[in-house]
Amino acid sequence: MTNDTIVATATAPGRAGVAVTRVSGTRARDVITALCGRLPEARKATRFLFRDPGTGDVLDDGLVLWFPGPASFTGEDTAEFQGHGGKAVTDALLQTIRRMDGVRIAEPGEFSRRAFLNGKLDLTRVEGLADLIQAETDAQRRQALQQMDGALARLYDSWREELVRRLAWMEAHIDFPDEDIPPDLDRSARNGLEELAQTIDAYLSDNRRGERIRDGIQIAVIGRPNAGKSSLVNALAQREAAIVSDQAGTTRDIIEIHLDLGGFPVTIADTAGLRSSNEDIEAEGIRRARVRASTADLKIAVFDLTEWPELDEETLSLVDSSTLIVLNKSDVATPYPDRMLTISGSGAHSLLLSTRSGEGMTELLSTLTAMVAERLNAGAHAPPALTRQRHRDALEDCRDSLLRAIHAPMLELMAEDVRLAARALGRITGRVEVDDLLDVIFSDFCIGK
């Protein structure tokens, strides 16, 4: 990291009542003095006229906050200028500051990167901050806040500290075999490592709950042509997201909509109608529909109730316990309520619906929300959710190293595998071997954060 002082607008571009411009680095004090004439009291908002130091022209009238390092977000001297949010005002302030010696525009995520390098944040907290900025649903917000508060770091650090403590005893026994070391060290160490390996393995078997909350649960809408799939998707989206036509085969490719269901992020995919087709483009759409159905977290299988009891066998073959069965066109068909729950032996939910009249939509949304919540809620006492693939990769490396250590024929080999397991955990929080990760992690941030 250089000694440059960095500046950026921390608020989103466009018109607003207030815009925040942030400065961090050794020259932050000089920037405040140049624009305002003096330093305000630390950590107290003070009103100033912001003046161009070259011309004396007034740039804006606003508030300044002064955070002397290391008691700041980045750990460096930091200033925040809170002015009016017009584009001309923010541009004038930003350009005036960047023209000062030793000051440059910040790169994406550079404020957070400096906070990490100065020990203010570990990498899991940095990622939690990024997730909080991008959160669109309540579940995403809660998960991001928990991670930003250090829940993941505390869990991973507790495992790492246990390994470091055991490693210290092993190395003491290796280096000083004549000292008073407990004779059952080998057996107790193997038992402890096996218990931790089982704990990590159980933690990894979470059905990717945290990653699904971050990225959204995937729901595929499947069924034969003209069953009402696109009409259902439009009803869920409350807009014309998909083309609706009486002509079979209208939907050729997958159309996605994004919803907030009970605070959980959901992506619903309208797929091509399932049938045999000799037309190349439609056949490719049908192939993609089957692939999406096989990889989706949940499925909505739409059937045309006017065809009861002769229902589409190809769609029925894709029904399982993660499927919500929708019997559409209930407004023009004779329902058979005593048969609704026996349409499949898979235990799938089923309900009546009319996309034309809206009958059954409330029940559908309620049932779908419950199915999503069942997959993503882990209970109040569950450990913080694993949220990224890089965490999963490191934890798998840790578990594998522990399994090797448990079966190591010599204490020296056991100690080496325990060291590798501890290093794998350290990579998650940023304690070891993270230089190659930093550019990737911080490049996802917006400028000014």
Whether the full predicted model's pTM is greater than 0.95, yes or no, is no
CA distance 128 to 142: 10
Tell me the pLDDT tens digit for each residue of 199-253: 999 999 988 889 888 888 899 998 888 888 888 888 888 766 544 444 444 555 6
Annotated binding-site residue? 271: yes
Residue with more model confidence, 2 or 116: 116
Question: Is 449 labelled as part of a ligand binding site?
Answer: yes
State the amino acid at position 372 in one-letter form.
V
Model pLDDT for residues 9-43, shown as the tens digit of each residue: 999 888 889 999 999 999 999 999 999 999 999 99
pLDDT at 441 over 60: no
Question: What does the pLDDT average to over 370-380?
Answer: 79
In 3D space, the residue among 56, 58, 59, 65 whose CA is nearest the CA of residue 32 turns out to be 65
Per the structure, the complete domain to which residue 52 belongs is given by 5-122
Cis peptide upstream of residue 337 (ω within 30 degrees of 0): no
Position 141 scores a pLDDT of 92
CATH number at 417 reads 1.20.120.430
Q: Is 299 annotated as a binding residue?
A: no
**120 assigned to a ligand binding site:** yes
What's the average model confidence in pLDDT over 86-114?
94
Q: Would 98 be classed as within a structural domain?
A: yes
228/358 same-domain check: yes
Q: Is 4 annotated as a binding residue?
A: no
Highest mean pLDDT among 85-99, 265-279, 307-321, 336-350: 85-99
Is 295 assigned a ligand-binding role in the annotation? Answer: no
Average pLDDT, the chain: 85
Looking at per-residue confidence, does 163 or 434 come out higher? 163
Indicate if 301 and 158 belong to the same structural domain.
no
Indicate whether 379 pLDDT > 70.
Answer: no
pLDDT over 70 percentage in the chain? 85
Same domain, 368 and 226: yes
Residue 346: what pLDDT? 57
Q: Report which listed range, 175-184, 367-376, 426-435, is most confident.
A: 367-376
Domain end among 60, 92, 122: 122
pLDDT given at position 420: 94
Tell me whether residue 245 is annotated as binding. Answer: yes
* 3-state per-residue secondary structure call for the chain: CCCCEEEEECCCCCCCCCEEEEEECCCHHHHHHHHHCCCCCCCCCEEEEEECCCCCCEEEEEEEEEECCCCCCCCCCEEEEEECCCHHHHHHHHHHHHCCCCEEECCCCHHHHHHHHCCCCCHHHHHHHHHHHHCCCHHHHHHHHHHHCCHHHHHHHHHHHHHHHHHHHHHHHHHCCCCCCCCCHHHHHHHHHHHHHHHHHHHHCCCCHHHHHHHCEEEEEECCCCCCHHHHHHHHHCCCCCCCCCCCCCCCCCEEEEEEECCEEEEEEECCCCCCCCCHHHHHHHHHHHHHHHHCCEEEEEEEHHHCCCCCHHHHCCCCCCEEEEEECCCCCCCCHHHHHHCCCCCCEEEECCCCCCCCHHHHHHHHHHHHHHHHCCCCCCCCCCCCHHHHHHHHHHHHHHHHHHCCCCHHHHHHHHHHHHHHHHHHHCCCCCHHHHHHHHHCCCCCC
Percent residues over pLDDT 90 in the chain: 44
Residue 368 in this model has a pLDDT that exceeds 50: yes
Same domain (yes/no): 311, 415: no
22 is in an annotated binding site: yes
Contact 298, 286 (CB under 8 A): no
378 is in an annotated binding site: no
Q: Which of 122, 154, 186 is the last residue of a domain?
A: 122
> Lowest mean pLDDT: which of 48-62, 102-116, 316-330?
316-330
436 part of a folded domain: no
Q: Judge whether residue 341 has pLDDT over 50.
A: no
Does residue 270 have a known ligand-binding role?
yes
| In a shared domain, residues 262 and 289 | yes
pLDDT of residue 115: 94
Residue 381 falls inside a structural domain: no
CA-to-CA distance for 159 and 150, rounded, in angstroms?
Answer: 14
Check whether 227 is labelled as a binding-site residue. Answer: yes
Q: What is the pLDDT of residue 380?
A: 61
239/128: higher pLDDT: 128
The C-alpha angle with vertex 210 and arms to 391 and 123, in degrees rounded to 5, equals 40
Give the model's confidence band at 292: pLDDT under 50 very low, under 70 low, under 90 confident, else very high: confident
Residue 230 annotated in ligand binding: yes
Q: How far is the C-alpha of 106 from the C-alpha of 69, rounded, in Å? A: 18
CATH number at residue 362: 3.40.50.300
Give yes or no: residues 263 and 368 share one domain.
Answer: yes
The amino acid at residue 366 is S
- What is the average pLDDT across 122-140? 91
Same domain, 171 and 101: no
* Statement to judge: residues 167 and 50 lie in one domain: no
Q: Is 273 assigned a ligand-binding role in the annotation?
A: yes
Domain count, the chain: 3
Task: Give the HSE-up count for residue 283: Cα atoms under 13 Å, Cβ half-sphere.
Answer: 5
The reply, when asked if residue 44 is annotated as ligand binding, is: no
Structure-block tokens of residue 124: 């899991």
More confidently predicted of 311 and 74? 74
Q: Of 145-154, 204-213, 270-279, 434-443, which range is least confident?
A: 434-443
Confidence of residue 397 (pLDDT cuts 50, 70, 90): very high
435 domain-assigned? no
Q: 399 near 201, Cβ under 8 Å?
A: yes
Domain annotation covers residue 442: no
Which phi and psi angles does 220 have, rounded to 5°?
-105, 130
Among 376, 411, 438, the domain-final residue is 376
Judging by beta carbons within 10 Å of its beta carbon (0-12, 13-18, 19+), is residue 340 exposed, middle or buried? middle
Q: The CATH number of the domain where 20 resides is what?
A: 3.30.1360.120
More confidently predicted of 279 and 52 = 52
